[in-house]
Structure 1
């Protein structure tokens, strides 16, 4: 197992990307993981849509992104909407997520 050090330079790179002073596309995979944990999701999903398409995005970062996006909240929201005559498809998606 390789030990990866996260330096002050890495931290500054992530902060610069979050602030929009540096492109998130230029971060390392370790920096992406920190970016996912610290990015304000209200600023848009574009970085995440790009990130999950990258071959070097590791499973840990993908899982971190998944859980930080609070899938349980959206599933509960969909269940609420299903009660207002949403389609069978939406009901199936919620059932799948709840498993």
Structure 2
């Protein structure tokens, strides 16, 4: 019997940041079935990252990461990633 392969070196991994909603006064983190089916259909392992405090300290344990899927959800404030916001329209101007 041959040894099983190290799947972390065989399969590509994609981080998927979960969406968050409130149900019965509790947060629910989820990823839609469509997106999971899409990723799995390409033969890629989905690594679902919940929207909880401290999760960023665990991300190194998932390396190597070959991609990130950001879908749905709220817009990310450009000030959080030092973006140049000159010329960007505010929601009031749209």
**Above 0.5 in TM-score?**
no
Larger proportion of strand? 2
Q: Give the TM-score, by structure 1 length.
A: 0.25
Task: Kindly indicate whether structure 1 or structure 2 has the higher relative contact order, using CA contacts under 8 Å at least 6 residues apart.
Answer: 2
Q: Give the TM-score, by structure 2 length.
A: 0.25
